[in-house]
């Protein structure tokens, strides 16, 4: 009995013993962990690091604010110092719709009056009140934007909208590039944009000079580093680390804005008339190689983005595309055989057709002109005659001259992405057809470089579009001097070639009589080149590249103008006279600028001033003093583009178009000439259908209406 009592007593004491043992164990573990923590903290305190991270640096970074100081991108100027591309800031508007968006005092920060917001925004955005209201009525959206209509707003427009104190309407700022002239050598100037898929808002050139000289234009960002507390105040005894931004350098071009703007107007008119797949035009000073005007179609407006939708919008046709030039190549084949001393101008040949290496070559007049002297082969543009001449010169000699004229090599004119060209020279047929511009691929810039040799007494000049670069930090100017790259032929040879080019214009049988300019000494060569396809040359009346090159004055050329038109869809004839509507007025205008003004003394003139960036009020005051007619296009108060551009000589009472920030509005065009309407079309990027002759009588879009509301604006002349 005692045994069992003792056993029960021991069983009662065991839980207390177990708890003592368990408590002691836990206490020991706590002691060990405590010493581990003490050791760890001591190590961190002594070494100031954890997991190889410096705690002092981490703490300092917590209170440090780093700010990037943006460098200003360099400005691109024309030859007269007028800005073509410059930095600016644009704004995008958005509206918050979520009714939960309130501040600490429960003030409503969302749109409370959608009708009021829609009405006010429609006055400043190219978007109707109804469409804005529909956007504001979007369901289950925290905020809404207004597409392209709500982007690229000027500071003046932003301030006008802000002045209305609309609840829920806000703005974001974006660095942007201002192109005040709109369509203006767009592919050659290029485009600079902020990255669209990142938070980096630094402008970067994506085409043209903006891309090719991006490093020079960009400069280098600076920085500012400040140590501050949680409230944003600078910490005592802390130092501000400051590194100044280095602004980009400015680039000056050889382009003459007066000639460039006029060329763009002529190109737009011709594009509407013929609807070609592409067109190019370049005006050069052959003495220096400087490009005075350059344009292409299709093109785009870098300011508005109009035209980016076309298939070839991003291609600089002048440098990136190579093509078979056709009969304008005869300028070089004639120069080569004359320079080689093998030209027989008075010998006769049978025109019409010739077979070379199993291939029959025809003249454009397939029946030919009978037996004619070689002196008529050039003005008549006889392919057969030039096959004979190439054979007289010799294949090897002809290829050597092609290389002397610097074909098959990029010109390095200053524009990016230049192609080198190529030539098919394997068979006798291939070799012969290159003499009249088939079987050889060239670029527009290579042709301009070669033409300079003919117009400049044998001295071939490198095409030049950049005249100088000015460092914004030091003021140091790097000037690009005219560069002679070759002397393929003698001055005596060039005189004979220009004489033959005169015959193209002046002889009854010449192919360029349509290019004659009254009172001017003009030398011309026309071309009609077949276009190579996958199964040989294309057929059909419009599957050609029409071209013309002209030099004036022919006795001592100051200008070379070269124009091409590829596959016009609306065409009545298959000759190269289709380009005379560009050539004649453009060359006439250039010659007029180079001479003392011929304006009658009874007519007063004024020099157009730079008005872009000025307030509308000031611009109108300036024009009134010059006795010019200001035409405001838009609801804004700042001029963003003007036409004509600065430096242009104007007659009194001539219209000056002022495109302002804000929504574009239609002016009253009653009494306007067709040329004024074409300038309006170019400036706004809108499509105009002009019918009739004379002066504007009616317009489909009423005056002061938003131009965005109509896809096509019809104006009837009477």
Residues recognised as catalytic: 327
Q: CA-CA-CA-CA torsion for 196, 199, 202, 204, nearest 10 degrees?
A: -30
CB 631 within 8 A of CB 667: yes
Query: How far is residue 524's CA from residue 334's CA, in Å, rounded to a whole number?
Result: 14
CB 184 within 8 A of CB 261: yes
Query: How far is residue 294's CA from residue 187's CA, in Å, rounded to a whole number?
Result: 9
Q: Are strands 191-194 and 169-178 parallel, antiparallel or unpaired?
A: unpaired
Please, which residues bridge with residue 544 across strands?
A: 530
The tokens for 587 are 């060359």
H or E element, residue 263: helix 257-274
The tokens for 218 are 């960009």
Under the phi-then-psi rule, with left for phi > 0, alpha for psi from -120 to 50, and beta for the rest, what region is 614? beta
| 703-707, long-range: CB < 8 A, 24+ apart | 703/666, 703/667, 703/668, 703/669, 704/665, 704/666, 705/665, 705/666, 706/126, 706/128, 706/663, 706/664, 706/665, 706/666, 707/126, 707/664, 707/665, 707/666
The tokens for 558 are 């100051």
Q: Which residues contact 195 (CB under 8 A, 6 or more apart)?
A: 201, 202, 204
Query: How far is residue 605's CA from residue 98's CA, in Å, rounded to a whole number?
Result: 59
**Closest by CA position to 660, among listed 628, 683, 688:** 683
Query: How far is residue 211's CA from residue 217's CA, in Å, rounded to a whole number?
Result: 9
Query: How far is residue 238's CA from residue 227's CA, in Å, rounded to a whole number?
Result: 6
Q: How many other CB atoms sit within 10 Å of the CB of residue 520?
A: 15
Q: How many other CB atoms sit within 10 Å of the CB of residue 480?
A: 16
Under the phi-then-psi rule, with left for phi > 0, alpha for psi from -120 to 50, and beta for the rest, what region is 383? alpha
How distant, in Å, are the alpha carbons of 64, 316, 366, 410, 524 from that of 407?
A: 59, 19, 30, 8, 21
At residue 300, the 3 state secondary structure works out as coil
Query: How far is residue 660's CA from residue 637's CA, in Å, rounded to a whole number?
Result: 6
Whole-number CA gyration radius for the chain: 36
DSSP state of 280: E
**Closest by CA position to 310, among listed 279, 287, 282:** 279
At residue 508, the 3 state secondary structure works out as coil
- Bond from prior residue into 644 cis (ω within 30 degrees of 0): yes
Q: Which residues contact 3 (CB under 8 A, 6 or more apart)?
A: none
CB 640 within 8 A of CB 671: no
**DSSP letter for each residue of 451-503:** HHHHHTTT-EE--B-EEEEE-TTT--EEE----EEE--S-HHHHHHHHHHHHH
How distant, in Å, are the alpha carbons of 250, 543, 614 from that of 18?
A: 88, 105, 94
Token pair 């797949």 is at which residue? 277
């Amino acid at each position: 009995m005692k045994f069992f009592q003792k056993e029960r007593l021991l069983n009662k004491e065991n839980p207390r013993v177990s708890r003592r043992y368990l408590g002691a164990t836990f206490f020991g573990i706590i002691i060990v962990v405590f010493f581990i923590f003490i050791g760890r903290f001591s190590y961190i305190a002594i070494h100031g690091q954890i997991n190889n991270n410096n705690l002092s640096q981490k703490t300092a970074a917590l209170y440090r604010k780093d700010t990037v100081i943006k460098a200003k991108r360099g400005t691109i100027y024309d030859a007269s110092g007028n800005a073509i591309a410059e930095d600016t800031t644009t704004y995008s508007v958005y509206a918050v719709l979520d009714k939960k968006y309130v501040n600490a005092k429960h003030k409503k920060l969302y749109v409370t009056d959608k009708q009021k917001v829609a009405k006010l925004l429609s006055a400043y955005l190219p978007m109707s009140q109804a469409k804005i209201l529909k956007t504001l009525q979007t369901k289950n959206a925290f905020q809404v934007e207004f597409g392209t209509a709500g982007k690229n707003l000027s500071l003046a427009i932003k301030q006008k909208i802000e002045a209305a104190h609309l609840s829920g309407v806000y703005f974001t700022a974006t660095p942007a590039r201002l192109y005040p002239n709109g369509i203006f050598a767009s592919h050659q100037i290029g485009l600079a944009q902020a990255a669209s898929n990142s938070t980096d808002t630094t402008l970067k050139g994506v085409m043209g000079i903006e891309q090719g000289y991006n490093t020079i234009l960009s400069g280098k960002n600076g920085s500012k580093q400040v140590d501050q507390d949680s409230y944003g105040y600078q910490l005592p005894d802390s130092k501000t680390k400051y590194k100044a931004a280095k602004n980009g350098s400015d680039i000056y071009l050889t382009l003459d804005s007066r000639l460039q703007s006029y060329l763009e107007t002529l190109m737009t008119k011709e594009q509407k008339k013929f609807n070609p797949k592409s067109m190019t035009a370049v005006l050069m000073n052959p003495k220096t190689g400087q490009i005075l005007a350059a344009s292409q179609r299709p093109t785009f407006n870098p300011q508005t983005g109009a035209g980016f939708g076309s298939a070839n919008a991003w291609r600089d046709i002048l440098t990136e595309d190579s093509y078979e030039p056709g009969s304008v190549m005869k300028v070089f084949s004639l120069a080569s055989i004359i320079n080689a001393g093998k030209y027989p101008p008075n010998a006769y040949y049978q025109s019409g057709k010739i077979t070379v290496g199993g291939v029959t070559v025809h003249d454009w007049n397939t029946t030919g002109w009978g037996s004619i002297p070689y002196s008529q082969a050039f003005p008549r543009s006889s392919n057969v005659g030039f096959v004979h001449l190439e054979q007289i010169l010799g294949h090897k000699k002809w290829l050597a001259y092609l290389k002397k004229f610097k074909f098959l090599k990029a010109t390095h004119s200053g524009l990016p992405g230049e192609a080198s060209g190529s030539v098919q020279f394997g068979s006798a047929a291939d070799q012969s057809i290159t003499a009249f511009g088939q079987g050889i691929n060239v670029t527009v810039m290579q042709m301009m470089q070669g033409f300079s040799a003919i117009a400049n007494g044998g001295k071939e000049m490198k095409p030049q579009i950049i005249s100088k670069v000015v460092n914004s930090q030091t003021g140091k100017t790097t000037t690009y001097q005219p560069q002679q790259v070759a002397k393929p032929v003698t001055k005596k040879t060039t005189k004979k070639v220009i004489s033959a080019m005169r015959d193209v214009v002046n002889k009854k049988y010449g192919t360029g009589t349509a290019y004659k300019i009254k009172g001017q000494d003009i030398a011309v060569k026309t071309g009609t080149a077949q276009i190579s396809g996958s199964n040989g040359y294309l057929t059909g009346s419009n599957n050609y590249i029409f071209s013309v090159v002209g030099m004036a004055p022919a006795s001592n050329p100051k200008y070379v103008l070269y124009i091409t038109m590829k596959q016009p869809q609306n065409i009545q004839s298959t000759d190269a006279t289709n380009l005379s509507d560009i050539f004649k007025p453009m060359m006439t205008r250039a010659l007029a600028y180079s001479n003392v003004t011929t304006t009658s003394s009874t007519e007063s003139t004024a020099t157009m001033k730079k008005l872009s960036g000025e307030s509308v009020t000031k611009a109108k005051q300036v024009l009134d003093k010059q006795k010019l007619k200001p035409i405001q296009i838009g609801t804004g108060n700042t001029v963003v583009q003007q036409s004509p551009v600065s430096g242009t000589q104007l007659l009194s009472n001539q219209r000056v178009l002022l495109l302002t920030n804000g929504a574009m509005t239609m002016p009253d065009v009653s009494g306007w000439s067709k040329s004024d309407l074409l300038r309006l079309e170019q400036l706004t990027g809108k499509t105009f259908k002009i019918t009739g002759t004379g002066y504007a009588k009616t317009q489909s879009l009423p005056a002061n209406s938003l131009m965005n509301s109509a896809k096509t604006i019809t104006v009837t002349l009477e």
